[in-house]
Structure 1
Amino acid sequence: MDLVVSVFLPVSLGIIMLSLGLGLTVADFARIIRQPRAVVAGLFAQVVLLPIIVYGFVIAFGVSGELAFGFMLLAASPGGVTSNILTKLVGGTLALSISLTGLISLLSVITVPLLVVFWAGLFLDTGDATINVTGLALTMFAITAVPVAIGMIIRAVATGLAGRIEPVLSFVAAVLFVVIVIGAVAASWDVLVANWTTLAPMTALMVLCLLALGWIIARVIGLPVPDRAAIGMETGIQNSTVAITLAGILHAGPEALPVIALPAAMYGILMYLGALPGGYLMYRAARGAA
């Protein structure tokens, strides 16, 4: 089990983040200056409002303890490659989606440890006493920021190589994502069965609300429809692999994938129940605006 937590999960997440970095360029981050309103709106929706909305769902559905902390761990995690793919499919601004994914992934080195300590103190008996903020920040840096930076460097200095290995790494990343999600669900199967009627509708409805949240914020500040779709997807689609990996690292028990990983694993499956109808509405709006 120690090998799963210390080797398999971090390496798998590193590969997934490396595949993300291969799709990023310095120009993607330069959009922060060229499109400040869109980027600030995306950051505000995902970093500030998203955790508040998820907390509201946790309270409304009566979820507590480790499951509640698991949902908040998911809310603290950045977006992932899936949000970029879905943004493209619904006709959103792919460049904005990629920029937000990359920026928030790098910011997560700071935001995730702080949020984890806060939510642990609220929902777990141990509170924040057992969480080393500096150590967690260094871990986040090693398993997220470093692979992304390596991917960007490869893309910059060896564009041809990046183009050849990106599809392979994307496929490997997708396989690893499926394996991690299935493993987390299997590890907490009894808890899932006992709470299915609460967790399943909560997760699907939560995704729909978060998609709408991103869209509405972008609309309020007057962004075009494609930008609304990008921000909506970035807000609604989180990187559940980050949350599952952190759950394994934070847990001190013998289980490789503890109960706190279950919400992220469920989300990895059920997010599509919310993303499909929400994405369809975004697609129709983007087609109508074209």
Structure 2
Amino acid sequence: MDLLLSVGLPLAIAFIMFALGTGLTGADFVRVAQAPRAFAVGLLAQVVVLPLVAFALLTIFPTDPALAVGVMILAACPGGTTSNILTRLAGGTVALSVSLTAIVSLLSVITVPLIVVWALGYFEGSALTEVTVLGLGLQMFAITTVPVLLGMALRLFAPGAAGRAEPWLVRAATVLFALIVIAALAANWSVFIGSMPDLGAVLIGLLIVMLPLGFLLARAAGLTGGEAKAISIECGIQNGTLGIAVGALVSGAVIGPYSLPSGVYGVLMYLVTVPVILLIARRL
């Protein structure tokens, strides 16, 4: 079972990132230059504000050190692949959502290792000093960036095949995400139950704070309501699968405490955001 998960988890995240890549084109990156202020605000909210809010919540709700590292791993991850769909349902600017998902996912090869290595030192001292920014970045490059680029290459050179395959790839990626979340919860059930009061408060707090804060930051910067909705959802819907995989890479365990916050958040984020988004869509 451990062998299956140790091989299957990296393959699953690679497949999910490949599915993301098949939905991207060069226009998604060019679009950033057409709306630089909106992208800059979204990037700031995701890469800087979100980890700072997570750290603040961890100081308010003291959490087991390993789980605290897992929360910071989650906060460092890019937006989830379903954020684009939810943005469309909420009447947000889908183009901005797609651009943020694409570029922040590529930047995560740099940003995630930096935050993770800092979190390990802060919360657990020298317990895992062998984890380096370069080493973790290279591992993430192999399971995230390369599959995204391969998916984009398929979209570029075989657009018809990519267009037909994309809906099925997205469905398969969603099923894989659900299975990985279930595995993370099952593997850490006793830890999950014991830490739920503090961990649950931090994760729910992260959602409650970041969803409106992302919207308010965008509006304060003079962005449209649609752009503000896109940024809000990007700040709330995290790539939990990547968080689980990074936790496994850091700990050397298949699915351990470092992965647990991402697994729990993978459930909570939909329980909180989807009803709100459906209500917004209904009103629209």
Q: Which residue of 2 aligns with 1:219?
A: 219
| CA distance, structure 2, for counterparts of residue 197 and residue 133 of structure 1 | 32
| CA distance, structure 1, for counterparts of residue 281 and residue 221 of structure 2 | 20
Letter in 2 for 1:262: L
Conserved 8 A contact 2:65-2:123: yes
Shift of 1:284: 7.0
In the TM superposition, what are the counterparts of 1:75-114 in structure 2 within 5 Å?
75-114=75-114
Q: Which residue of 2 aligns with 1:65?
A: 65
Conserved 8 A contact 1:192-1:262: yes
- Is 1:174 aligned with 2:182? no
Query: Tell me, what secondary structure is at the counterpart of 1:81?
Result: coil
Alignment size in residue pairs: 283
Conserved 8 A contact 1:92-1:227: yes
Q: Which residue of 2 aligns with 1:248?
A: 248
| CA distance, structure 2, for counterparts of residue 134 and residue 203 of structure 1 | 28
Conserved 8 A contact 2:83-2:233: yes
In the TM superposition, what whole-angstrom CA distance separates every residue of 1:64-104 from its partner, at most 9, and x where no partner exists? Answer: 31010000010111112111111111111111100000000
Conserved 8 A contact 2:136-2:249: no
Conserved 8 A contact 2:61-2:201: no
In the TM superposition, what are the counterparts of 1:121-132 in structure 2 within 5 Å?
121-127=121-127, 129-132=129-132
- Is 1:143 aligned with 2:123? no
Query: Tell me, what secondary structure is at the counterpart of 2:82?
Result: helix
In the TM superposition, what are the counterparts of 1:3-22 in structure 2 within 5 Å?
3-5=4-6, 7-22=7-22
Could you tell me the percent identity over the aligned residues?
A: 46
Which sections of structure 2, spanning at least 5 residues, go unmatched? none
In the TM superposition, what whole-angstrom CA distance separates every residue of 1:8-30 from its partner, at most 9, and x where no partner exists? Answer: 11110011011111111100100
Letter in 2 for 1:238: Q
| CA distance, structure 2, for counterparts of residue 201 and residue 284 of structure 1 | 29
Shift of 1:134: 1.5
| CA distance, structure 2, for counterparts of residue 152 and residue 106 of structure 1 | 12
Shift of 1:152: 1.0
| TM score, norm. by length of structure 2 | 0.95
Conserved 8 A contact 1:229-1:282: no
RMSD: 1.6
| CA distance, structure 2, for counterparts of residue 215 and residue 47 of structure 1 | 15
Shift of 1:133: 2.0
Conserved 8 A contact 2:247-2:258: yes
Letter in 2 for 1:258: G
Q: Which residue of 1 aligns with 2:265?
A: 267
Q: 1:217 to 1:4 in 2, by over 3 A?
A: same
Which sections of structure 1, spanning at least 5 residues, go unmatched? none
Letter in 2 for 1:259: P
Conserved 8 A contact 1:76-1:115: yes
Letter in 2 for 1:100: L
In the TM superposition, what whole-angstrom CA distance separates every residue of 1:91-139 from its partner, at most 9, and x where no partner exists? Answer: 1111110000000001011111111111110112435522032121111
In the TM superposition, what whole-angstrom CA distance separates every residue of 1:206-263 from its partner, at most 9, and x where no partner exists? Answer: 21211111101110011111100000011111101111001111113xx421111110
| CA distance, structure 2, for counterparts of residue 280 and residue 271 of structure 1 | 14
Conserved 8 A contact 1:22-1:151: yes
| CA distance, structure 1, for counterparts of residue 281 and residue 258 of structure 2 | 34
